[in-house]
């Protein structure tokens, strides 16, 4: 049977390599490609996607998995081979339900739509993007149809990013969370507001990059197997465990996006760089799910990057780069400023207390678009209505409203809930890490992240996609994903910042 395991790995390596080539094209499109090349890139992406789909659904792969199924029953269920067979089988079963024609059409449309979205956002022109949004919504509805019967039309989309999780499960978690978060936000709003005006001065882009690179080098980002570039929307991509790249975004008159965006994407990259190399070029060389992935990025961005111990170590370095802007701002004022709680327009710039409301809004929008209760042509106006209901403010335009995120132009319906779930998981894992490493705060203050990173390497990163998300969280913490640790964290932190 070992010979058949090796045959399976050979086939999976080929599929992975083709997927990596496709990822290179996507990275280049968002970092380097001239806008006018979108149509050609769409054709290239469609061709590659079709080849990947053919190989991913081949009779040879299906027959091999059938032959290995019995063998897998004789193995320790947590062995690498058993888990590889299980995950490969899951991918095969999903892929064989989807037609090659759909895969090609989707790849072509997303390549063009991303380029159009960039222009539409830059010019605040929703009508330019609207036909592509309508097409992508139709394509994702068509995709869901491949997986009938389902409990909810959104389930197949969510399952792509959170294996095994159902729409009803997420809605229940969010329903429980929303009440507590809104109560906390209302309580904080009654306190004197903190000042963060110093964040909105002119900050040289090179200086922003210099500071971010210094910090993520200290975090443990391996530049020998990664790089950082600039893109319209920050992202992380991997072409294999030895090539994990990040991008960031520079806003000249707002310090936070580049700083915290860099920390965030580094968190994703540290996860990918920490997966056991023996899984490289197989389906196990990935995160357990996007919520687990987001737990890592949100942890480095917020639990560490917005903490007081962190800034006790790094604030003088930032002041040295920006003496005119921050020289007269003391540490306490800076710390409170970067943790100001206030409803805002942009998700990636939102504070920790209001962030999940941005996600709940998007989940409601996506479910409505898939169910048909919201028409894609009306998305801009519906967005404004829901934004007012969730956050009490109305976007003055569409570039900071319905056009602010890249996800829909990439066809990533089902992705957004993972951000909020990631917030919850980040706090659950952090509490457990603190039990095992109670000196973590002192380590952060010293700029020594080796033990913290080492803990996550041991308990999360090395396993890649070997375990399903709920299974992994249960294995580490003894509980399934829940909101209690996250709410404890929010109440403790912001109670201190606002003097409750």
Catalytic center residues? 265
User: Contact 369/379 with Cβ under 8 angstroms?
Assistant: yes
Q: For residue 464, is it left (φ>0), alpha (ψ between -120 and 50) or beta?
A: left
Beta strand pairing status for 244-248 and 236-238?
antiparallel
d(CA 276, CA 283): 12
Q: Extract the tokens encoding 112.
A: 């063009």
CB atoms within 10 A of CB 407: 17
CB atoms within 10 A of CB 54: 14
Q: How many residues does the chain have?
A: 500
d(CA 160, CA 150): 14
d(CA 365, CA 381): 11
Inter-axis angle of helices 38-56 and 2-31, to 10 degrees? 170
């Amino acid at each position: 049977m070992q010979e058949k395991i090796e045959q399976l790995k050979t086939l999976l390596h080929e599929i992975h390599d083709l997927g990596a080539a496709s990822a290179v094209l996507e990275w280049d499109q968002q970092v380097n490609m001239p806008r006018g090349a979108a149509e050609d890139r769409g054709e290239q992406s469609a061709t590659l996607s079709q080849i990947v789909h053919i190989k991913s659904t081949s009779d040879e792969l299906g027959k091999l998995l059938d032959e290995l199924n019995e063998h897998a029953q004789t193995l320790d269920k947590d062995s690498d081979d058993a888990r590889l067979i299980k995950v490969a089988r899951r991918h095969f079963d999903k892929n064989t339900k989807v037609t090659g024609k759909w895969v090609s059409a989707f790849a072509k449309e997303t390549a063009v739509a991303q380029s159009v979205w960039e222009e539409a956002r830059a010019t605040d022109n929703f009508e330019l993007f609207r036909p592509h949004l309508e097409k992508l919504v139709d394509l994702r509805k068509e995709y869901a149809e491949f997986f009938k019967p389902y409990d909810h039309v959104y389930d197949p989309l969510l399952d792509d990013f959170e294996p095994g999780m159902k729409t009803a499960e997420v809605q229940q978690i969010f329903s429980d969370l929303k009440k507590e978060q809104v109560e906390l936000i209302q309580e904080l709003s009654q306190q004197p507001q903190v000042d963060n005006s110093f964040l909105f001065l002119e900050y040289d882009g090179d200086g922003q990059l210099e500071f971010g690179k210094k910090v993520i080098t200290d975090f443990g980002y391996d530049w020998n197997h990664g790089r950082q570039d600039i893109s319209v929307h920050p992202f992380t991509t991997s072409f294999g465990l030895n090539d994990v790249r990040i991008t960031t975004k520079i806003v000249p008159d707002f310090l936070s996006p580049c700083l915290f965006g860099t920390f965030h994407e580094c968190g994703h990259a540290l996860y990918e760089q920490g997966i056991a190399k023996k899984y490289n070029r197989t389906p196990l060389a990935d995160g357990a799910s996007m919520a687990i992935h987001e737990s890592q990025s949100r942890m480095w961005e917020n639990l560490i990057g917005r903490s007081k111990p962190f800034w006790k170590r790094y604030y003088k370095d930032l002041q040295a780069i920006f003496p005119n802007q921050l020289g007269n701002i003391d540490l306490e004022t800076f710390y409170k400023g970067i943790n100001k709680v206030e409803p805002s327009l942009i998700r990636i710039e939102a504070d920790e207390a209001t962030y999940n409301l941005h996600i709940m809004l998007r989940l409601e929008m996506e479910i409505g678009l898939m169910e048909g209760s919201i028409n894609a042509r009306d998305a801009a106006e519906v967005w404004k209505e829901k934004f007012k209901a969730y956050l009490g403010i109305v976007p003055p335009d569409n570039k900071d409203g319905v056009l602010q995120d890249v996800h829909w132009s990439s066809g990533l319906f089902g992705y957004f809930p993972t951000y909020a779930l990631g917030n919850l998981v980040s706090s659950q894992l952090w509490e457990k890490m603190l039990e095992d490493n109670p000196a973590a705060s002192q380590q952060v203050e010293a700029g020594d992240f080796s033990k913290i990173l080492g803990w996550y390497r041991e308990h999360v990163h090395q396993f890649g996609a070997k375990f399903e998300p709920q299974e992994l969280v249960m294995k580490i913490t003894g509980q399934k994903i829940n909101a209690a640790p996250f709410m404890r964290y929010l109440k403790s932190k912001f109670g201190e910042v606002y003097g409750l």
